Amino acid sequence: MSETALITGASKGIGREFAVLFAERKCDLVLVARSADQLEELKEALSEKHGVHVHTIVKDLAAPNAVNELFREVKALGVDVDYVVNNAGFGDHGAFVDTQWERYEEMIALNVEVLTHLSHLYARDWAGRKRGRIVNISSTAAFQPGPMMAVYFATKAYVLHLSEALNHELRREGITVTTLCPGPTRTHFLEDSGMKAARLVKNVKVATPRAVAKLGFKAMMKGKPVAIHGAMNKVAPFAIRFLPRKWVTRLSAKVMGRSKEFL
Ligand SMILES: NC(=O)c1ccc[n+]([C@@H]2O[C@H](COP(=O)([O-])OP(=O)(O)OC[C@H]3O[C@@H](n4cnc5c(N)ncnc54)[C@H](OP(=O)(O)O)[C@@H]3O)[C@@H](O)[C@H]2O)c1
């Protein structure tokens, strides 16, 4: 019997690449995002090339009650979900006080609440099945505070901590929760978040979304707790454990500051 993956934020970037990877392994899909055209185009391409069933659900997940609606709509489709990819998320580069509260409200709703609620709904739904895999997209931002992107970094730290704890708790139910931590990745995110202005992006190798999704996919299938993309990105969280937290924040502020050409 074929399996089904539910992917949030599947219209582009890392989420889109997850959809391709699942389709290549003949897994049916439920793709969720706001961009109807992009979802439809991906649906046609994947069903034609790989012969998989693809459902699209156009939804603003940050809207009130969107997650309950999504869960009900997926049930109404009559598909059983085996994999959940909690990928939809966004960030905003800039001083804390310069960003409108509504933007943060939406960010916390999408990066934190939606991911938590969907994990909760499916973990309960899967009780007794002894299987089910979740991958939650965090970031290398999860490992330290991030001045100039303080709220985004904090949301990703939440994702890491929540997912590690859930992976521990749910293992006895046969459910695994993998946290994927990408570093800077060439997607719309870098443009939309304004992160292109940060020194960090000027000074590191930017990954492709395909490479990041591949790492996450493999880690998820093996039931690994955490996957960090990029050799340097793996070293940093380990190295900073030995530094005073104040230094770590200062260092982070330096790399998150605007590079010269954006000043
Ligand atoms: N790119 C990076 O450098 C990087 C680094 C670390 C972590 N990440 C994380 O990776 C994840 C994927 O980001 P990406 O880099 O692939 O960025 P992206 O190309 O901008 O993709 C973001 C996806 O989320 C969807 N989305 C955004 N707001 C939504 C909403 N309100 N409701 C439903 N869907 C929504 C977007 O679709 P629509 O616009 O069609 O709704 C899109 O499919 C995010 O959680 C991000 O924080 C990215």
The residue extents of the domains of the chain are: 4-262
Q: Which CATH superfamily is domain 4-262 in?
A: NAD(P)-binding Rossmann-like Domain (3.40.50.720)
pLDDT digits (tens, 9 = 90+) for 109-159: 999 999 999 999 999 999 999 999 999 999 999 999 999 999 999 999 999
Average pLDDT over residues 4-32: 98
pTM of the model: 0.96
- Cα 168 from chain centroid? 19
Other C-beta atoms closer than 10 Å to the C-beta of 44 total 11
- Report d(CA 262, CA 5) in Å as an integer: 40
Q: Would you state the pLDDT for residue 250?
A: 96
Residues 6+ apart with CB under 8 A from 201: 184, 190, 195, 259
Label residue 1 by pLDDT band (50, 70, 90): confident
User: What pLDDT is stored for residue 198 in this prediction?
Assistant: 85
Instruction: Determine the atom of ligand 1 nearest the C-alpha atom of 185.
Output: 3
pLDDT at 166 over 70: yes
Q: Is the CB of 159 under 6 A from ligand 1?
A: no
Which tens digits make up the pLDDT trace of 227-237?
999 999 999 99
Let me know: does 107 contact 92? Beta carbons within 8 Å: yes
Structure tokens at 205: 């190798």
With a 6 A CB cut-off, is 182 part of the ligand 1 pocket? yes
CB of 109 sitting under 6 A from ligand 1: no
Q: Which of 182, 243, 222 is nearest to 15 (CA)?
A: 182
Greater pLDDT, 260 or 32: 32
Q: How far is the CA of 110 from the centre of ligand 1 (A)?
A: 10
The structure tokens listed for 167 are 């992976």
Report whether pLDDT(262) > 70: no
Give 53-97 pLDDT, tens digit per residue.
Answer: 999 999 999 999 999 999 999 999 999 999 999 999 999 999 999
Query: Chain-wide mean pLDDT for the chain?
Result: 95
Residue type, 225: P
